[in-house]
Amino acid sequence: MAVNASPMPAVFLGHGSPMNALEHNRYTAAWAAFGASVPRPRAILVVSAHWYIGSTAVTAMPTPRTIHDFYGFPQELFDFQYPAPGSTAFAEEVSEIVKPVWVGLDHDSWGIDHGTWSVLAHAFPDADIPVVQLSINAAKPFDYHLDVGARLAPLRDAGVLLVSSGNVVHNLGGMDFGNPNGGYGWAHSFNEAVRSKMQEAPTEVLTVDARPDFRLAVPTPDHFLPLLYLAGTAGVSGRTLDVLVDGYTFGSLSMTSYTLDASCPDRQDIDSPAAEFPDPTEVPPDDTNA
């Protein structure tokens, strides 16, 4: 594994609705600014909230399919393709670097899900950089994910961009569709508590599960866990994280994104809200898989 003079940045992106793939707003502008600011990666490794299974695996197919893992959205979104190549050799490299953690090679079952392509469509719109996904092992405790993030950190010295995609606050059942650009008080309090940890001592973000607002903010762990991978990587670096963009949508989702060792232009001049979800009277929030 070749070593670069400076490590590649790493990032956690709050992805929100899959419709963000097709829209231009303050969040997608920040993702695009991040992609434009980093050196061209050799490969991109993504931990997405939407590959949440009972084992740890990495996509190892040369041509991963674009997965439309949601319901109730416009046909335009189902037609969207992100034809980035995969890399069997890089998948094997990922599997090797995290040992003794076991990582299976997935040659045919998954691909690139919307937690990945909805953000990379803005950060790297040409889809010409190899993309590999690492699953989130639903059977493991929080500290396991922090540890795997730490084990992945050396890949940054070899030109690999580590991307995590989820949402710090993600409560689809509590969404207020009349509030596209704001958050409940409990969403703010939890998001700010996480922000404090990420900007002062990232590995201590594990302790936020003791907060009384944790169950409201994180009713299921899938969208929160990707953050722990970036926190683990940051812990190895000995540095804290910067906020790329911050905000809330529909009351119960935060769109906060964090970067490590990145310098991006501030796009706070764009104030349009995050993309919408399907009409809840037609598709219940829990069935959107968003």
Residues in contact with 205: Cβ distance below 8 Å, sequence separation at least 6, in sequence order:
194, 197, 198, 227, 228, 231
Q: From CA 239, how far away is CA 89, in angstroms rounded?
A: 30
Query: One-letter amino acid identity for 232?
Result: G
Q: What is the DSSP string of 77-107?
A: HHH--------HHHHHHHHHHTTTS--EEES
Query: What is the helix (H) or strand (E) element at residue 48, kind and residue range?
Result: strand 43-53
Q: From CA 290, how far away is CA 282, in angstroms rounded?
A: 15
Give the Cα-Cα-Cα angle 233, 237, 241 (nearest 5 degrees): 70
Q: Angle formed by the axes of helices 185-200 and 225-237, to 10°?
A: 20
The answer to whether the beta carbons of residues 50 and 118 sit under 8 Å apart is no
The answer to whether the beta carbons of residues 189 and 216 sit under 8 Å apart is no
Give the Cα-Cα-Cα angle 194, 198, 203 (nearest 5 degrees): 100
Residue 243 lies in a domain: yes
Residue 279 lies in a domain: yes
Q: What is the DSSP string of 112-124?
A: E-HHHHHHHHHHS
Residue 151 lies in a domain: yes
Residue 177 lies in a domain: yes
Residue 134 lies in a domain: yes
Q: Phi first, then psi: give them for residue 10, nearest 5 degrees.
A: -135, 160
Domain residue limits at 74 = 10-287
Q: Phi first, then psi: give them for residue 149, nearest 5 degrees.
A: -60, -40
The answer to whether the beta carbons of residues 254 and 168 sit under 8 Å apart is yes
The answer to whether the beta carbons of residues 181 and 16 sit under 8 Å apart is no
Among 84-88, 246-250, 257-261, 272-276, the minimum mean pLDDT is found in 272-276
Confidence of residue 289 (pLDDT cuts 50, 70, 90): very low
Give residue 19's Cα distance to chain centre: 15
Residue 109 lies in a domain: yes
Question: β-pairing, 10-14 with 57-59?
Answer: unpaired
| Pick from 151, 120, 146, 150: nearest CA to 133 | 120
> What is the average per-residue pLDDT within 229-251?
95
Task: Name the one residue in this structure whose structure tokens are 């092992």.
Answer: 137
pLDDT in tens, 90-126: 999 999 999 999 999 999 999 999 999 999 999 999 9
For residue 193, what are its two tokens? 């508590």
pLDDT at 153 over 60: yes
For residue 18, what are its two tokens? 């899959």
pLDDT at 271 over 70: no
CATH number at residue 134: 3.40.830.10
Which pLDDT score is estimated for 234?
97
Q: From CA 8, how far away is CA 153, in angstroms rounded?
A: 10
Residue 142 lies in a domain: yes
pTM for the full model?
A: 0.92
pLDDT at 276 over 80: no
pLDDT at 217 over 70: yes
Intra-chain end-to-end CA distance of the chain, in Å: 36
The count of structural domains within the chain is: 1
| Pick from 10, 14, 13: nearest CA to 38 | 10
The answer to whether the beta carbons of residues 232 and 203 sit under 8 Å apart is yes
